[in-house]
Amino acid sequence: MKKFEHHSFVMGLGFVAGFIDVFGFTQLGGLLPAHVTGTLIFLAINLSHGQYNIILKLAALPIFCVAVLGSAWFIGAIAERGRDPFLPALLMQAALLLCGMIAAIVLPKSHGPDGLATVTIGTCALAAMGLQNTIMRLILNNLPPTTVMTGNITQVLSDTVGYACRFSSIRRIKDEKVILERQAKRMLITVLSFLAGALAAAFTCERLGEFALCLPVLAILCLIPFGQRTLSTPGAQPAA
pLDDT tens digits, 83-136: 999 999 999 999 999 999 999 999 998 887 788 999 999 999 999 999 999 999
DSSP 8-class letter at 33: S
pLDDT score at 183? 79
The pLDDT confidence band at residue 237, using thresholds 50, 70 and 90, is very low
163-205: per-residue pLDDT in tens? 777 666 544 455 666 777 777 888 889 999 999 999 999 999 9
In contact, 128 and 64? CB cutoff 8 Å: no
pLDDT score at 185? 84
Give the span between the Cα atoms of 16 and 217, in whole angstroms: 8
pLDDT score at 176? 66
Does the structure show a pLDDT above 50 at 239? no
Q: Which of 194, 145, 199, 201 shows the shortest CA–CA distance to 15?
A: 194
Residue range 139-157: average pLDDT? 84
pLDDT score at 96? 97
Give the span between the Cα atoms of 145 and 90, in whole angstroms: 16
Exposed e or buried b for every residue in 11-44, given b needs 16+ CB within 10 A? bbbbbbbbbbbbbbbebbbbbbbbbbebbeebbe
Residue range 138-158: average pLDDT? 84
pTM greater than 0.85 (yes/no): yes
199-232: per-residue pLDDT in tens? 999 999 988 888 899 999 999 999 999 998 888 8
Residue 2's alpha-carbon distances to 24, 94, 135, 143, 230, in angstroms, are 33, 21, 13, 12, 8
The pLDDT confidence band at residue 40, using thresholds 50, 70 and 90, is confident
